[in-house]
Every structure is written in structure tokens, then in C-alpha cells.
Structure 1
Amino acid sequence: MSLVETIKKISFFNNLNEEQLSIIASFSSISKYSSKSILFYESEVNQNLLFLVDGLLKIYKFDKFGNEIFLYHVYKNSMISELSSLNSNDIYCFSNAEFIDESTILSVNFEKLYEYFLSKNILTKELMENLLNKTQQLQCIINRELVFDATAKVAFMLNQDLEMFNKLKRQEVSFMLHIQPETLSRVLKKLSREEIINIENGDIVIINQNALSSIFKGIAV
């Protein structure tokens, strides 16, 4: 697959024509990563805007005791980088990033992207949408860590990330949500008794979406 064809797989660039895609390709590159490898560490600085073409990426931090704190997953066809300013070519890493699956990364030089596109009001809407999505994602993390109880944490993940919930071992899920495995088991049994979910061959199936959403939204069913 050519570089231009790879760029076309990222919806961020959907509105560009062939000439514009070729310009993007002239200051971009593709990298392959194996599972468990590290993309970047917290406090690193680079000059490239990063996109996940294929694969799965885990974003996390460490607390003062060295314990890993899971933040969120990045899925294919997503922008990874978190911009803090458009007035600097330096892109700071505010967390750590580790690959869960074999993955492909598209790296786009931010200075060139700004020169040829953003400064001409091209791709600015797409960039703003991505940044707003990341802000919303941060709000969800704050709710999960500071507001939600165990039931709300589990309901939120089932609602937002059911495929990942079923893919992971229960112990891994409880670790991500910062609850005990026994607590996770009790919550799942409770949701099953209330006919909000079914547990079929170990996988969760949502049967009452409104009731599930109301648990973390605080809305009466």
C-alpha cells in the first residue's frame, strides 16, 4: 500500500483532493510497531502529528507510587497526538502510549501541515473536531475516576467500549477501572439480575441500553 493510500484510510484527510494528499505524503511517513512496544513516554516532545492507521494503543500514566493508571484506548483511524498550542511546532506527550496489537502509525510533520494547510484554513475544522473529542474524552476520564462509583464505571465501559470489555480478561478490566475483581463480578451479576445485560459464554450482551446509560448519566429510566 502506498503512502497516499494509507493517508486515505484516515478520515481526518477525507476532504483533500489527490494533489493535496500528495503534498501531505511528501512530509509524512509510516511506521510499524509490534504489540507491547512503546510509542512514546510522558514528557517526550516531537514535531509530528501522529495517527493510528491500524491496531490498538493504550494511553496511561503512573501515579506517585509507580502504579499504572489506565486512561483510554486509541483505535484505528484516530489522531493520537494531543495539541496544546498551534503557535509551536513542539507537540508534548502528556502520558505514555503502549501498543496492545500490532499497529501502523502515520506521522505528519506538524510545521509543514500548518504551512501548507492549517494556515490556509484547510483541515482546521477536522483538527478542531479532534481536539474537542479529546476534551470530551478527558471529561469522561474525570467522571470515571472522581465521580463514578463501581457500578457506574462498569456501566460506562460497557456502553462506550463493549468490544474491548469482552476482549479483555475480567481481571484486566477491573485493573483498568481501578476496582477489585470481586466488585466487578458483583456488579455484572447485579446488572444481569436487573435484566440490563446478559452474560453469554462469558461475553456481555446489552439488552436494555437505556437502563445501562441511566446508571452513569443519573437519568431515571
Structure 2
Amino acid sequence: MEFLKQFLIFSGLNEEEFKQIERIAMKRTYQPRMFVFMEGEEREAVFFIKSGLVKTYKIDEAGNEQVISLLQSGDMFPHVGFFDRSPYPATAEAVQETELIVIRIADFDDLLMKYPQMTIKVMEIMGKKIIDLQERIQGFISKDVQHRLTHALMKLAAEHGVRKGKGVYINLPITNQDFANMVGTSRETINRTLNEMKKKNLLSADRSGILIYDAEWLNGSS
């Protein structure tokens, strides 16, 4: 339960209240490429990532994967639908071996009814996600691929980055295809754009992550 205390929605609860959460929380482990849930399935639970990496995405009419987010330890999901019975809005898939803390929707609803301060915090989280989505849509409309990729790198650096001197290291095993799915282009275009950035000594990448040499460049170019 010490792990769950770091989440915004649980801040302010006392030890007795946390004991109630402990009674309804479960632990599940997922291997890489296992589905946590699929888009359109009946909503079952709220998930809190203890370790690992989860990718959420939608499939468009042409069958293309559109990555919505990459989530790691300390994240909760899904971020919408807490106040209705709508199905899961996207698919969630484990990228690495992942350990989740799971609270069933019915039990989570009871928590929201019992502790109104949690409901307010959930609404704050949903509001931030809506703003993120609006910014992403605006980027798709008004920016070229390089700007969209730079914005994606900036967001990943903010959420998952570790400072390395003047730079920042994005500690995620993200593929070029994942980037293509995030910014709405082809893998070939992402390959070309990343190679151009590497030639300019802006970044380097391997299977475990991406190193941005100068964080100021990243913030100034997006």
C-alpha cells in the first residue's frame, strides 16, 4: 500500500482508509505483448502500474495502430469513463513484464462515493488528459512530421526522462514504429527524421531508450 500512497487521488487518506483500499486491491502480472484489456470490452477495473511498461492505442478504420500513451510505474489508467459504464476506450498492452495493482470498477465507484475528495482529484486528472489530447490534435493539424516527433520526444522526456548532464535520457524501449503510430506517419518517415537528428548530433538511440544531448534544444524546438 506504500506504493499506492504516491498517487494523487489517494493523497490525504489516513491509515484506516488505506486499509480499506488494501482489502479490495489485487495484484496481476502481465508478460510482454499480453493484453490488459481491449478496446470495446466491458470496463472491469482501474489499474495502477507498479513496474513495467504499458502501451495504450486505438486501431483506425484502415487497421493502423494509433498510440495514445506509454505508461510506466506510478501511472494509473484508463483515464476516462470513471462516471459511466462505457466500455474501454482503447486497448492496453504490456510492452515489458508488468506488475499492476487492480481495483474493480464497482469497488472503485464505492471509494469515489465514500471519499468525495478522491472524485475531485479524478476530475483533475481527466482534465489534464483532455488538455494533452487537445495539444496533440493541434499538433497534428498545424505541424510537420519533425515538429510532431520533437513534441512527442519532449512529452516522453517530461514523463519518463532522467537528466544526464545537459541532456535527458528517455528510459523506454520505444520502437520507430511506435513513434510512427504516435505522430501519425510511416515508419520509413520516422527512420529518416531520426537519422537526420542523429547526423546533427541532437540525439542517439538504442533498443533501451533515447538520449537527447541538449534538453534546451528539445524544449526550444517543439
Q: Structure 1 length normalisation: TM-score?
A: 0.77
Q: 2:214 aligns with which of 169, 189, 207?
A: 207
Cα separation, partners in 2 of 1:102 and 1:159, compared to 1, 3 Å: same
Q: Deviations over 1:156-208 (max 9, x none)?
A: 1221114558733445434543334553355346556777x244889542425
Q: Deviations over 1:32-66 (max 9, x none)?
A: 11111001111112242222222111111111122
Q: Which whole-Å CA distance do the structure 2 matches of 1:32 and 1:17 have between them?
A: 28
Q: Which whole-Å CA distance do the structure 2 matches of 1:116 and 1:200 have between them?
A: 43
SS of aligned partner of 1:57: strand
SS of aligned partner of 2:123: helix
Paired position in structure 1 for 2:179 = 173
The structure having more radius of gyration, on CA atoms, is: 1
Paired position in structure 1 for 2:132 = 137
Paired position in structure 1 for 2:189 = 183
Q: Deviations over 1:86-139 (max 9, x none)?
A: 2x4x35211111110111222223433443444442312321222122212322
**Residues 167-176 or 154-163, more deviating:** 167-176
Q: Structure 2 length normalisation: TM-score?
A: 0.76
Compute the displacement of 1:16 (Å): 1.5
**Letter of the structure 1 residue corresponding to residue 144 of structure 2:** D
Cα separation, partners in 2 of 1:33 and 1:21, compared to 1, 3 Å: same
Q: Which whole-Å CA distance do the structure 1 matches of 2:44 and 2:89 have between them?
A: 14
Alignment of 1:44-63 (within 5 A): 44-63=41-60
Q: Which whole-Å CA distance do the structure 2 matches of 1:41 and 1:109 have between them?
A: 16
SS of aligned partner of 1:16: coil
Q: 1:37 aligns with which of 34, 38, 41?
A: 34
Q: Which whole-Å CA distance do the structure 2 matches of 1:5 and 1:80 have between them?
A: 19
SS of aligned partner of 1:45: coil
Cα separation, partners in 2 of 1:79 and 1:118, compared to 1, 3 Å: farther
Paired position in structure 2 for 1:155 = 150
Compute the displacement of 1:17 (Å): 1.4
Cα separation, partners in 2 of 1:193 and 1:105, compared to 1, 3 Å: closer
Paired position in structure 2 for 1:219 = none
RMSD in angstroms over aligned alpha carbons? 3.1
Uncovered stretches (5+) of structure 1, i.e. residues with no partner: 217-221
Q: Report how many aligned residue pairs link the two structures.
A: 209
Cα separation, partners in 2 of 1:35 and 1:144, compared to 1, 3 Å: farther
**Letter of the structure 1 residue corresponding to residue 218 of structure 2:** L
Does the Cα contact within 8 Å between 1:32 and 1:102 map onto a contact in 2? Answer: yes
Cα separation, partners in 2 of 1:35 and 1:193, compared to 1, 3 Å: closer
Q: Deviations over 1:58-85 (max 9, x none)?
A: 1111111222222211222112023335
Uncovered stretches (5+) of structure 2, i.e. residues with no partner: 158-168
**Residues 185-194 or 90-99, more deviating:** 185-194
Does the Cα contact within 8 Å between 1:83 and 1:91 map onto a contact in 2? Answer: no
Q: Which whole-Å CA distance do the structure 2 matches of 1:25 and 1:55 have between them?
A: 21
Q: Which whole-Å CA distance do the structure 1 matches of 2:80 and 2:221 have between them?
A: 32
Identity %: 21
